[in-house]
Amino acid sequence: MTTEIREASERDLPGLAELLGAREGLSSPYLGTRRALLDLDPARGRVWVGIAAERVVALSCVELRRLQVGATTCNAGYWTALYVHPDHPDPQLDVRLGQAMLGGLEQLGITRVYLSVRGATPRAASLLETHARIGSRELARYVVRMKPLRPLSLVSKQLRLPELAQRVAAPLDRVAGLPLRLPGWRPDPPPGSSVVTLSLVEDGEAVAQLLMRARAGKVTRAWDLESLCARYHSAKADARYTLLGLCQAGVIIGVAVFRVRTRTSGVRVGVVLELAARDDDSATLALLLRSIERRARARSADAVLLLDSLGDQTSKLARAAGYLDIGERVTVLTATGAEIANSDLIHQAQAWRFPLGDHDSF
C-alpha cells in the first residue's frame, strides 16, 4: 500500500479527527482536534500526515516557538505528537513521517526541535525507540517529585480505599497541614515585600522578562507577553492557572505558576509549572514554593508535583522541602539540523531549564 506523506491542510481535519479519536480509544472522531492542532495555523504549528487509500493514517506535529539558547533566541519546534494507526501495515511509516517533517521544518529555517516523553509505559518505550530511529538524541531524564500535603488522604485515594477511610483521614491530615496554616510555622517575606497573585494582562510583560533574565545563558523557552498569555489563559474554571509573584518595592523578583487538577483516582494534585527568581535566589524560590503549597492545600490538593528540571538550586531546595522521587521520569530529546554542532548548548543537559509550563504533560 502506497502512503503519501505531506503537510496537512484544512481538508484533512475530518480524517485527523478520526485518527486522534482512534488514538484516544474513542469510537468517534476526537472533538478537540482543531484546538489540539492549533487550528492548523502555520504561524503557531505545523502538521504532517500520512495518507493511504484516501485516509489519514498517521500524523506528526510541532508547536512553533522561540527558544532561548545561551545569549541568543531562535525559532524552534516542540514536537507534540507522532502517531500511526495501529492497523497500518508499514512499520517504517513513523520514521519516514518524522524525518519528512524535520526536513520540511529545516526548509523553513527551523533546525532546533525538542520533545519530551513521560513515563515508562510500553507506549512511552515504543515512542522513545521510534525517535531513536528517526535520529533524535536523548538529552536528560528528569525526576518527577511529589510532596504530600494530606498524606493519609493521598494514600487512601491511591489505594482506592472506601470513602469512610478517606473521611477518617481528613482530621488527621489537618494536623499534618499545620505548618502550612499557622503563620509562626511558615517563612515570612522579607521586609517591604509580599507574595501576590499576578494578572496575566497587567503583569505578563514583567513576568516574561523575569523568566528570561532568571535563565540567562541557559536553554529554555523564550517568553514574551503574547506567548505567555496564549500559554496560560484558560476559560475553564477547573483548569485555571495561578500566577504568583514576590514583589519588592513594586518590582517582581520571583515568579511561580501552578494549577490544581483532579486525577482519575480522585487525588487532587497541585502542579508547579514555573518557579524562577532573580539571581536564582534560594530564599525567594523557597518562599514561592511554600506559597504554592499553602494555596494548593486551600484548594483541597492532596499533594504537589514538581518536575526536577530547573537546575541544581531548585533541586536541592525541593529535596530539602520534602519533595520525594515517585519513580516517574520525563525524558527530553532533541532533533536538530545537520548544521547544529555537537558543542551547541542545545545538546548540553546542564544548560537546560525545562519547566512543566513548557509543555504541561501533567
Please, how many CA atoms are within 13 Å of residue 17, restricted to the half-sphere of its CB?
14
**How far is it, in rounded angstroms, from Cα 296 to Cα 290?**
10
Mean pLDDT of 208-217: 95
Residue 74 pLDDT: 95
Residue 313: how many CB atoms within 10 A of its CB? Answer: 13
**How far is it, in rounded angstroms, from Cα 282 to Cα 200?**
25
Mean pLDDT of 339-355: 90
pLDDT bracket for residue 119 (50, 70, 90): confident
- pLDDT over 60 at 163, yes or no: yes
- pLDDT over 80 at 149, yes or no: yes
- pLDDT over 80 at 234, yes or no: no
Residue 183: how many CB atoms within 10 A of its CB? Answer: 6
Please, how many CA atoms are within 13 Å of residue 53, restricted to the half-sphere of its CB?
5
Q: Are strands 72-84 and 112-118 parallel, antiparallel or unpaired?
A: parallel
Residue 236 pLDDT: 58
∠ CA 112-311-187, nearest 5°, is: 140
Joined together, the cell numbers standing for residue 236 give 475553564
- pLDDT over 80 at 238, yes or no: no
Judge whether 173 and 326 are in contact, CB under 8 Å. Answer: no
Residue 171 pLDDT: 60
Domains of the chain: 4-110 (3.40.630.30), 144-329 (3.40.630.30)
Beta strands in 127-241 (DSSP E): 137-148, 193-197, 219-221
Q: End-to-end CA distance of the chain, in Å?
A: 38
- Alpha-carbon torsion, ordered 98, 45, 360, 261, to 10 deg: -120
In the chain, % of residues over pLDDT 90: 76
Joined together, the cell numbers standing for residue 145 give 517529585
Entry pTM = 0.89
At 240, phi and psi to the nearest 5? -70, 150
Mean pLDDT of 171-179: 57
pLDDT bracket for residue 337 (50, 70, 90): confident
